[in-house]
Amino acid sequence: MEYTKEELTEQLKEITEKKMKAVAAQSYELASMYRDKEKDLMLKLEELENIKSN
């Protein structure tokens, strides 16, 4: 499924918030999972940007 830039940005915002809450609660395993999801979303956003600029 393809996502729009806005959808990916919103997902990234939500994941980042969840990661910060997990860190605050010292749930580091959960925070690392969110960090990995955050990286994946950033890569998808970059790919989307590259596709649109070409």
Report the domain count for the chain. Answer: 1
The tens digit of pLDDT for each residue in 20-42 reads 999 999 999 999 999 999 999 99
DSSP per position, the chain:
----HHHHHHHHHHHHHHHHHHHHTT-HHHHHHHHHHHHHHHHHHHHHHHHHH-
- What pLDDT score was predicted for residue 49? 87
Percent of the chain whose predicted confidence (pLDDT) is above 90? 81
27: left (phi over 0), alpha (psi -120 to 50) or beta: beta
- Supply the mean pLDDT for the chain: 94
Q: How many CA atoms lie within 13 A of 29 on its CB side?
A: 0
Q: How confident is the model at residue 3 (pLDDT cuts 50, 70, 90)?
A: confident
Range of the domain at 34: 5-53
pTM here?
0.86
